[in-house]
């Protein structure tokens, strides 16, 4: 796929105007047929500033003897005075670009908070979270558990049950345990990625610490609040400091209620408590997935812009 180039030319009013984007072959065709001069300027994503066409393609376009007057070529990434507000910055850039043909066009990275340029690359190199996989694992766990419990009460006393019925009940029980373990492991993987995206100075926990401390007896009761509720607060602070205005915001109370429901469900096992825990866990997972996947997209854009 060809790079998309912007170029300058003399418009009908005699002023220098910007045009594009065009493919590389089309740009060179304009030079070869005399429409453009090698002394005129061009730019594509990945270049720090505008360069003469003869500099961008030194082996294909010979430089002419008469240079153009030196224009303001430096690429400005932000408009002075509105750096902290993405929408204002974009609006100001639109006007600013109209007055300056050498301004960098707004790219996909610009539209998505400049691809998280203020965030360490390690935070962005996070794998996506699949909400569908989470629901499949826990849905299968609940289904197998309910089916197994139904057979358990239907077949009591067991001496009246057939071998097939007992085998089915045992199979549902094994399936429920297997999907419970798989769902638990994937939930911990999601927790690991949640903490991965906000790593930096002053962060309460590293990803291994956030997951590992949940296995400490009694201490894990306290750590539930740190791993989830504290994370939601630190995440919101992190995206605010990084000016990621398009990043999803976390509902901090949701993560607090999830931690409370987890303790209640295990302390007082009952149908209502488990149902409430499942609902809160699902809502929590959906929110966390939106956050992690947003950072994943920022990482993809960062890599694409760096490869250009």
pLDDT of residue 89: 47
Q: Position of tokens 């429920």?
A: 176
Long-range CB contacts for residues 277-284, cutoff 8 Å, separation at least 24: 278/138, 278/142, 280/254, 281/138, 281/187, 282/134, 282/135, 282/138, 283/254, 283/258, 284/228, 284/254, 284/255, 284/258
What is the average pLDDT value for the chain, to the nearest integer? Answer: 80
CA–CA distance from 218 to each of 61, 142, 144, 262 (Å)?
A: 72, 26, 30, 13
Q: Is the pLDDT of residue 73 over 70?
A: no
Q: Considering the chain, what percentage of its residues have pLDDT values greater than 70?
A: 77
Neighbours of 307 (CB within 10 A): 8
Pairwise CA distance, residues 300 & 308, whole Å: 13
**DSSP letter assigned to residue 65:** S
Both tokens assigned to 127: 């794998």
| Local confidence band at 178 (pLDDT 50, 70, 90 cut-offs) | very high
Among 14, 46, 40, residue whose Cα is nearest residue 27? 40
Average pLDDT over residues 238-254: 89
pLDDT in tens, 13-34: 777 788 878 888 888 888 888 8
CA angle 110, 112, 118 (to 5 degrees): 80
pTM: 0.63
Region of poorest pLDDT, from 74-78, 154-158, 241-245: 74-78
304, burial (CB in 10 Å: exposed 0-12, middle 13-18, buried 19+): middle
Confidence (pLDDT) at 104: 54
| The pLDDT of residue 81 is above 70 | no
Q: What is the pLDDT of residues 115-174, one digit of tens each?
A: 456 688 888 889 999 999 999 999 999 999 889 888 877 777 766 777 887 888 889 999
Q: Which two tokens stand for residue 194?
A: 């949640």
- Rounded-to-integer distance, Cα 234 and Cα 200, Å: 11
Specify which residues 9 forms β-bridges with. 17
Kindly report the number of other CB atoms within 10 A of residue 195's CB atom.
22
Identify the DSSP state of 243.
Answer: T
DSSP letter at 228 equals I
Q: What is the pLDDT of residue 87?
A: 52
**Phi and psi torsions of 23, nearest 5°:** -70, 165
Give tens-digit pLDDT for 280-305: 999 999 999 999 999 998 888 777 76
Q: Which residue is associated with the tokens 């005399």? A: 34
- The mean pLDDT of 62-77, rounded to a whole number, is 45
35 compared with 237, residue with greater pLDDT? 237
Residue-level pLDDT at 116: 54
pLDDT category at 101 given cuts 50, 70, 90 is low
d(CA 51, CA 55): 6
The listed range with the strongest mean pLDDT (65-79, 138-152, 221-235, 263-277) is 221-235
Residue with tokens 């429901």: 261
């Amino acid at each position: 796929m060809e790079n998309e180039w912007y170029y300058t030319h003399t418009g009908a009013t005699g002023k220098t105007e910007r045009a594009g984007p065009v493919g590389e072959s089309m740009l060179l065709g304009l030079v070869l047929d005399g429409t453009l001069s090698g002394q005129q300027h061009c730019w594509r994503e990945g270049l720090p500033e505008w360069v003469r066409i003869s500099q961008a393609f030194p082996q294909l376009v010979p430089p002419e003897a008469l240079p153009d007057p030196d224009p303001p070529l430096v690429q400005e990434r932000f408009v002075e005075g509105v750096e902290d507000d993405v929408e204002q910055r974009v609006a100001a850039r639109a006007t600013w670009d109209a007055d300056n043909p050498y301004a960098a066009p707004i790219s996909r990275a610009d539209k998505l908070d400049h691809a998280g340029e203020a965030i360490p690359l390690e935070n962005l190199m996070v794998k996506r979270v699949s909400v569908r996989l989470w629901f499949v694992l826990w849905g299968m766990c609940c289904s197998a558990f309910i089916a197994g419990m139904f057979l358990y009460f239907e077949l009591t006393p067991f001496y009246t049950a057939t071998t097939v019925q007992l085998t089915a009940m045992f199979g549902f029980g094994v399936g429920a345990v297997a999907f419970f373990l798989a769902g638990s492991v994937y939930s911990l993987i999601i927790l690991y990625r949640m903490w991965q995206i906000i790593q930096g100075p002053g962060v309460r926990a590293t990803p291994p610490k956030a997951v590992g401390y949940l296995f400490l007896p009694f201490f894990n009761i306290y750590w539930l609040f740190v791993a989830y509720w504290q994370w939601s607060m630190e995440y919101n602070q992190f995206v605010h400091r990084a000016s990621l205005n398009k990043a999803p915001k976390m509902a901090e109370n949701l993560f607090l209620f999830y931690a409370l429901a987890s303790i209640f469900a295990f302390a007082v096992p009952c149908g209502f408590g488990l149902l409430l825990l499942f609902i809160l866990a699902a809502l929590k997972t959906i929110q966390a997935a939106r956050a992690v996947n947003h950072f994943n997209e920022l990482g993809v854009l960062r890599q694409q812009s760096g490869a250009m």
